[in-house]
Amino acid sequence: MLGVVFFHGGGATPDSDREVAYTTFKDYVAKGYTEKIIVNKGEGTARLTVRPEHIRDVFKRGADQVGKQPTVTARIPSADKLDDYLSASGYRGSVSYEESSGTLRMIITSLLPMALLIGFWFYIFRGMRGGGGSGVFSVGKSKARVIEKGEGTNVTFKDVAGQEGAKQEVQEIVDFLKNPSKYTELGGKIPKGALLVGPPGTGKTLLAKAVAGEADVPFFSMSGSDFVEMFVGVGASRVRDLFTKAKEKAPCIIFIDEIDAVGRARGKNPAMGGNDERENTLNQLLTEMDGFGTNSGVIILAATNRVDILDKALLRAGRFDRQIHVDLPDLPERVAIFGVHLRPLKLAPGLDVELLARQTPGFSGADIANVCNEAALIAARHNRKEVGRQDFLDAVDRIIGGLEKKTKVMTAGEKRVIALHEAGHATVSWLLEHANPLVKVTIVPRGQALGAAWYLPEERSITTREQMLDEICATLGGRAAEELFTGHISSGALNDLETVTKRAYGMVAYLGMSAELPNLCFYNNQEYNFTKPYSEHTAERIDKAVAELVAEQYERAKRILSENAGKHARLAETLIEHEVIFTADVEQIFGPRPWKSRADELLESAASTPSAATGEDEPGSGEKTEPEADTTAIEIANAAPAGPETALADDKSATTEAPSAATDKENETEA
Ligand code: NHX
Ligand code: ZN
């Protein structure tokens, strides 16, 4: 019942199993003598089954003497090396994995935990009886949620906003499911699996469902983490069960969310000596994928946000051999996504959807859904009958920064430090050519932060050293201002310093941007990198270069601030007075920034090539849509004077609610 099974060598008799050198083994693979390989990682061996028509080539005897399925075994350097060889050689047969043959020690060591488990099992069983429902006997069954064909929940491509590129690629899979013969008649093999790769919240599940909906086939969905249970063997048996069920319903889609939970590279965790249970599950998955025929009508879609940590065996030909990238939406796609999520809301007339999309660079579809819902809640809290522009802008701020804590009481002294710190960021970033454009500065506490300078992150494709240095300098502007103008430094710079240190380390150790270690990249994408890919000596040089880089930028920030101390002070005062200030306020004090932002430049080139600015919804036309994305930057950076986004023009801009308690308290203290 507990799926602990030790496979043994398959009952091969000496006559029908021959040991050969690894080179010979590879030679047999290359000559196409086999379509089945079984790897035993514990023993470090691999066994191939010789095809009947090649038995004489290998054994010099006929099947009557060595059996119908004789095998050849070789000691392999490593499973990874073999995998690499198999991929390189274009081998398309099956590869499965088996456990080491059970030595006495292994059986004894596995019996003890088993006895414990059985005890635990009954304990849970007793606890679950009252709960009705599935009970403990379903542990080994797949927990797959099944959406049957034509079951009403049908999602189609219409429900997937944006993602034109991914939709097009996935359309092919729909076609495989609908008209398999179109492909098989020409001798083509229908792919078994595809990976949907992209950050969380980008709608990978929705896309997979839409494939099932469009093809009108059942949809089996399960999360990788469902496979990873504490019970030994449960994961593997769930995989088996899932595939058995799916094969009965073919044609169908199996969707495995978070496949990285099972699919992480095997045996790369030196601390654990590998996670055997997870590896068993993964091996079972690989075996199942190889086990069903190429044109069986079952297509497996799996979602992940990290392909680089997946076991390479998963990506081999005949498994998840195609990748469909699902990216964060760009501006026009965000407009479309807002369109979907605004549908159920009661909106104030004339709401500018594009403005909302502009305010949400880097947001995923799920984030946008969240914004829309949050905006509705905010509007309801104010007893409004419709959801308006300001509700959405407040919702965006809240999702980025957390809840405003207007009741947090601050002394005049604390408030001054916070204002000086934030004004420091604003001043330095305003005066640096490559720093991100400032949107607003606030000293209203929100979430973990007591104050914040908000920027519009430029959706850059590449970042230069100068841009990174300017960002670091602006981030150090807060602490630099504290030191210069209060004479003390505070714990408030924690997050700033964290960001700065990470970035500086990245510049030195990954991007080869220091004079100390130029053009060297020590990036290590392995999940468990307990050993750094460099010597102690290099480690010291990295530390030194990082510290120097940060020190240099800190001095630079202090220089900028002391050269502009008067303006900085005025900015801090405005901030204390209004609590929130916008780009236009900063501009009144410092004058306009003399540099063209990337936004400006894109806008100009868009103006000279009108076609580029229309941003037609062409799939995968990232560049084309960007000029539009950046008109935004400008409008926000220049904070449209007509709008309410100027503290000097209109106090209540961002805070439409009644004056905050903090403000009142503060006024009292000052009075
Ligand atoms: C705190 N947070 O947790 C307060 C609430 C400089 C005006 N003590 O850089 O908010 O001070 O530009 C333990 C110890 C966070 C936990 C110290 C968690 C410090 C944000 C930093 C504004 N804006 N910093 C900023 C800020 C803070 C922090 C901590 C902690 C501040 C600064 C946090
Ligand atoms: Zn700061």
- DSSP-based helix, strand, coil % in the chain, nearest 5: 50, 10, 35
- How buried is 557 (Cβ within 10 angstroms: 0-12 exposed, 13-18 middle, 19+ buried)? buried
- Residue with CA at minimum distance from ligand 1 atom 24: 492
Q: Is 527 a catalytic residue?
A: no
Query: Strand 193-197 relative to strand 320-325: parallel, antiparallel, unpaired?
Result: parallel
Q: Which residue out of 98, 422, 482, 483 is catalytically annotated?
A: 422
Query: What are the backbone dihedrals phi and psi of residue 472, each rounded to the nearest 5 degrees, phi first?
Result: -65, -45
From residue 142, give the alpha-carbon distance in Å to each of 137, 247, 417, 496, 538: 11, 14, 57, 46, 49
Q: Which atom of ligand 1 is closest in space to residue 490's alpha carbon?
A: 6
Q: Is the CB of 644 under 6 A from ligand 1?
A: no
Which of helix, strand or coil describes residue 17?
strand
Q: Is the CB of 482 under 6 A from ligand 1?
A: no
The dihedral over CA atoms of 313, 314, 318, 323, expressed in degrees to the nearest 10, equals: -130
pLDDT value for 115: 65
pTM higher than the cut 0.85: no
Which of helix, strand or coil describes residue 310?
strand
528 neighbors 270 (Cβ within 8 angstroms): yes
Amino acid (one-letter) located at 289: M
pLDDT value for 301: 92
Ligand 1 pocket test, candidate residues 414, 439, 450, most atoms within 8 A of CB: 450
Buried b (16+ CB within 10 A) or exposed e, 630-668: bbbbbbbbebeeebbbbbeeeeebbbeeeebebbeebee
Neighbours of ion ligand 2 (CB under 5 A): 478, 496
pLDDT value for 132: 37
Rounded distance from Cα 309 to ligand 2 centre (Å): 34
Query: Strand 17-20 relative to strand 71-75: parallel, antiparallel, unpaired?
Result: parallel
Instruction: Say whether pLDDT at 164 is over 70.
Output: yes
The predicted-structure confidence for 354-363, as pLDDT tens digits, reads as follows: 888 878 888 8
Rounded distance from Cα 342 to ligand 1 centre (Å): 35
Kindly report the number of other CB atoms within 10 A of residue 23's CB atom: 9
Distance CA 252, CA 292 (A): 13
The predicted-structure confidence for 79-132, as pLDDT tens digits, reads as follows: 888 887 887 777 777 788 776 554 545 555 566 666 666 666 655 554 444 333
Which of helix, strand or coil describes residue 462?
coil
- With tokens 């290099």, the residue in question is 538
- How buried is 497 (Cβ within 10 angstroms: 0-12 exposed, 13-18 middle, 19+ buried)? middle
The predicted-structure confidence for 516-538, as pLDDT tens digits, reads as follows: 999 999 987 665 667 788 999 99
More confident residue, 29 or 442: 442
Nearest in space to 313 (alpha carbons), one of 527, 140, 78, 49:
78
Amino acid (one-letter) located at 355: L
Question: DSSP per residue over 131-169, as a string?
Answer: T-TT-GGGTTS---EEE-TT-S----GGGS-S-HHHHHH
Q: Which atom of ligand 1 is closest in space to residue 417's alpha carbon?
A: 7
pLDDT value for 8: 34
Distance CA 324, CA 488 (A): 52
Rounded distance from Cα 343 to ligand 2 centre (Å): 38
- With tokens 């043959």, the residue in question is 101
Instruction: Say whether pLDDT at 285 is over 70.
Output: yes
- Residue with CA at minimum distance from ligand 1 atom 29: 494
Q: Which atom of ligand 1 is closest in space to residue 450's alpha carbon?
A: 10
Tokens at 43, concatenated: 């023993």
Kindly report the number of other CB atoms within 10 A of residue 349's CB atom: 6
Kindly report the number of other CB atoms within 10 A of residue 28's CB atom: 21
The most confident of 189-203, 334-348, 561-575, by mean pLDDT: 561-575
pLDDT-based confidence at residue 417 (cuts at 50, 70, 90): very high
Question: DSSP per residue over 175-213, as a string?
Answer: HHHH-HHHHHTTTPPPPSEEEEE--TTS-HHHHHHHHHH
Distance CA 394, CA 556 (A): 35
Query: What are the backbone dihedrals phi and psi of residue 363, each rounded to the nearest 5 degrees, phi first?
Result: -80, 145
288 neighbors 130 (Cβ within 8 angstroms): no
Q: What is the mean pLDDT of residues 421-430?
A: 97
Question: DSSP per residue over 311-349, as a string?
Answer: -GGGGSTTSEEEEEE-PPP-HHHHHHHHHHHHTTS-BPT
Nearest in space to 432 (alpha carbons), one of 462, 472, 484:
472
pLDDT-based confidence at residue 659 (cuts at 50, 70, 90): very low
pLDDT value for 146: 75
**Cis amide bond preceding 251, omega within 30:** yes
pLDDT value for 559: 98
pLDDT-based confidence at residue 646 (cuts at 50, 70, 90): very low
Distance CA 80, CA 487 (A): 58
Nearest in space to 290 (alpha carbons), one of 34, 75, 102, 101:
34
